[in-house]
């Protein structure tokens, strides 16, 4: 399954720790972006979340190009791991039961252009790997 979510990608970082009655809870930032991506994924999701191993998930973030980029690729913030973390967690119970089912995860970021506006392109595969791919 492949789908595109338009919008400005936001990283989901664990901020400070809040303590309530002796228990610690991480404060997450930019959860509205994760909630929006969760809502958009529901429109493309199968009737029931995928069971068993998810052989690969490919996520590519398309970010706004700065006026004067220093490099042809977005090497500055946000970090790709922080971009992906909130999304894989937000898709628990929608695309898959738990993101621990993911065996191979590919994350990238590129500048948005006419072919791909700002947003995130997602590909999820739970089928047998094709010949020549990593086992």
Whichever domain contains 85, its CATH number is 3.30.1330.70
| Domain assignment present for 40 | yes
Q: Output the pLDDT for position 128.
A: 56
Please tell me the total count of domains within the chain.
1
pLDDT higher than threshold 50 for residue 132: no
| Domain assignment present for 17 | no
What pTM, to 2 d.p., does this model score? Answer: 0.78
| Domain assignment present for 41 | yes
SS3 per residue for 82-124:
HHHHHHHHHCECCCECCHHHECCEEEEEEECCCCCCCEEEEEE
What sign does the CA torsion over 14, 120, 108, 128 have? Answer: positive
Residues 37-73: tens digit of each pLDDT:
899 999 988 899 988 887 789 999 999 888 887 778 7
Query: H or E element: which one contains 34?
Result: helix 31-44
* Phi then psi dihedrals of residue 72, to 5 deg: -70, -10
- Which structural domain range is residue 115 located in? 2-9+31-125
| Domain assignment present for 109 | yes
Name 3's bridge partners.
122
If you count them, how many residues does the chain have? 135
The single-letter DSSP state of residue 22 is T
Q: How far apart are CA 44 and CA 32, in angstroms?
A: 19
């Amino acid at each position: 399954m492949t789908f595109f979510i338009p919008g400005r990608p936001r990283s989901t970082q664990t901020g400070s720790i809040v303590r309530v009655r002796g228990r610690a809870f991480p404060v997450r930032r930019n959860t509205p972006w994760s909630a929006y991506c969760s809502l958009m994924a529901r429109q493309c999701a199968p009737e029931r979340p995928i069971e068993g191993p998810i052989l690969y998930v490919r996520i590519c973030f398309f970010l706004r190009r700065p006026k004067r980029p220093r490099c042809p690729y977005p090497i500055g913030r946000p970090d790709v791991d922080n971009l992906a973390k909130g999304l894989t967690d937000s898709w628990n119970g929608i695309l898959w039961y738990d993101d621990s089912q993911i065996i191979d995860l590919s994350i990238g970021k590129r500048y948005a252009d006419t072919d791909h506006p700002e947003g995130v392109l997602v590909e999820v595969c739970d089928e047998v790997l094709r010949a020549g791919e990593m086992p």
